[in-house]
């Protein structure tokens, strides 16, 4: 990525600022101008498109607009085994057709799928970064066609590199003791950067020996489970029981990460919950929305641990993906330990799906025995 400077910024910051502004515009439902060399295109969230804006885009498109969808959504439409994104041509940008292809649960392909370009892939990444549905309207344009328009733009290389740059730029911005019920000797350390749209938090419970193997849990934020005690998942149980275990076992570090809904964001999580209420499995519901099994990245979590002085961990998790991510980032995983939640009538299918479809190390027999009434 080329070096550049803003008037009051640091070297290389201009392109990152462009992406941050593009994320804000995209989340607000306004078109963003993406650049791929000499190629230009206006991109717009399919879920946020309104009739008047689409009418103006259709005039610019002159029959060359298209809809970009993820491989997960294309598989749901009937493209079995699809592993790459693809596009549907839009000779006219018809919102009803866009909604059918991008949003409806039981839709099927109504035209051939064409390959997606690098610019189309960047448009999907912008949607993911913006935490909206990964379905994007793309309208190729020329510089002359948009002359005089006030548009926020970004280079596709900057969009593609943004996640890694955020992880590399993580820094501690505040820390303080925060006594918790049952864990009075606790410190919160706040980091800026990483995944999601908020700060990340490390909760240091007790006084773990950082020169030894430190018990660590990577915990993705779950508003419904962590705060409100939702019965649809085991997140709240895992959060509180991890803190309790650390208090009773010489401490540890819990990383509280902004990755709601397996990285899909709270609005998409609620969409998935709505589909689950209609009978869909948790992963099938995500696929209907255009998401694969898990959108989360954990490289920045390893960076947080390194900045805290941790080099070797005992991973408190049921998810092999987290263990692999910690190791891939250069930390040693000395051991791993399961974190049990409580099964109930509302989450037992969810827990079984995590085991059977995502490879989580969940012993359902042990969980059910734990939930059985005590004599």
Partners of 313 in beta bridges? 214, 333
Active-site annotation holder among 73, 82, 128, 296: 296
Q: What is the dihedral of CA 78, 84, 85, 87, to 10 degrees?
A: -70
SS (HEC) of the chain: CCCCCCCCCCCCHHHHHHHHHHHHHHHCCCCEEEEECCEEEEEEECCCCCHHHHHHHHHHHCCCEEEEECHHHHHHHCCCCCCCCEEEEECCCCHHHHHHHHCCCCCCCCCCCEECCHHHHHHHHHHHHCCCCCEEEEEEECCCCCCCCCCCEEEHHHHHHHHHHHHHCCEEEEEEECCECCECCEEEEEEECCCCCCCEEEEEECCCCCCCCEEEEEEECCHHHHHCCCCCCCHHHHHHHHHHHHHHCCCEEEEEECCCCCCCCHHHHHHHHHHHHCCCCHHHHHHHCCCCCCCCCCHHHHHHHHHCCCCEEEEECCCHHHHHHHHHCCCEEEEEECCCCCCCCCCHHHHHHHHHHHCCCCCHHHHHHHHCCCC
Burial environment of residue 177 by CB neighbours within 10 A (0 to 12, 13 to 18, 19 or more): exposed
d(C-alpha 172, C-alpha 55), whole Å: 46
**135-141 and 86-90 strand pairing:** unpaired
Catalytic annotation present for 294: yes
Active-site annotation holder among 39, 258, 281, 294: 294
**186-192 and 39-45 strand pairing:** unpaired
Catalytic annotation present for 296: yes
Question: Which residues are annotated as catalytic?
Answer: 294, 296
């Amino acid at each position: 990525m080329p070096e550049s400077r803003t008037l009051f910024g640091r070297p290389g910051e201009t392109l990152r600022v462009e992406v941050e502004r593009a994320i804000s515009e995209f989340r607000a439902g306004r078109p963003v101008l993406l650049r791929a060399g000499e190629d230009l295109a206006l991109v717009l969230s399919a879920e946020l498109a309104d009739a008047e804006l689409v009418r103006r885009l259709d005039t610019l498109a002159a029959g060359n607009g298209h809809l970009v969808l993820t491989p997960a959504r294309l598989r749901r439409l009937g493209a079995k085994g699809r592993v790459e994104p693809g596009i549907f041509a839009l000779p006219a940008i018809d919102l009803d057709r866009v909604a059918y292809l991008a949003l409806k649960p039981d839709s099927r392909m109504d035209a051939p799928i064409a390959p997606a370009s690098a610019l189309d892939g960047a448009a999907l990444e912008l949607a993911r970064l913006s935490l909206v549905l990964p379905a994007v309207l793309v309208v190729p344009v020329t510089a002359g066609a948009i002359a005089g328009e006030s548009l926020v733009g970004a280079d596709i290389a900057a969009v593609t590199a943004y996640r890694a740059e955020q992880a590399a730029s993580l820094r501690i911005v505040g820390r303080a003791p925060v006594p918790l019920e049952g864990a009075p000797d606790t410190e919160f350390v706040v980091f800026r950067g990483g995944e999601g749209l908020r700060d990340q938090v490390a909760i240091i419970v007790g006084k773990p020996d950082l020169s030894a193997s430190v018990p660590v849990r990577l915990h993705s934020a779950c508003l419904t489970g962590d705060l409100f005690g939702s019965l649809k998942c085991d997140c709240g149980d895992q959060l509180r029981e991890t803190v309790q275990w650390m208090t009773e076992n010489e401490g540890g570090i819990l990383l509280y990460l902004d990755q709601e809904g397996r990285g899909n964001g709270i609005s998409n999580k609620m969409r998935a919950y709505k589909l689950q209420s209609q009978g869909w499995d948790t992963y099938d519901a995500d696929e209907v929305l255009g998401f694969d099994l898990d959108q989360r990245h954990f490289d920045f979590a390893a960076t947080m641990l390194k900045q805290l002085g941790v080099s070797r961990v005992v991973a408190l998790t049921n998810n092999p993906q987290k263990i692999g991510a910690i190791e891939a980032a250069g930390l040693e995983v000395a051991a791993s330990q399961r974190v049990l939640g409580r099964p109930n009538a509302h989450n037992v299918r969810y827990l079984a799906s995590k085991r059977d479809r995502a490879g989580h190390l969940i012993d359902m027999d042990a969980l059910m025995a734990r939930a059985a009434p005590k004599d």
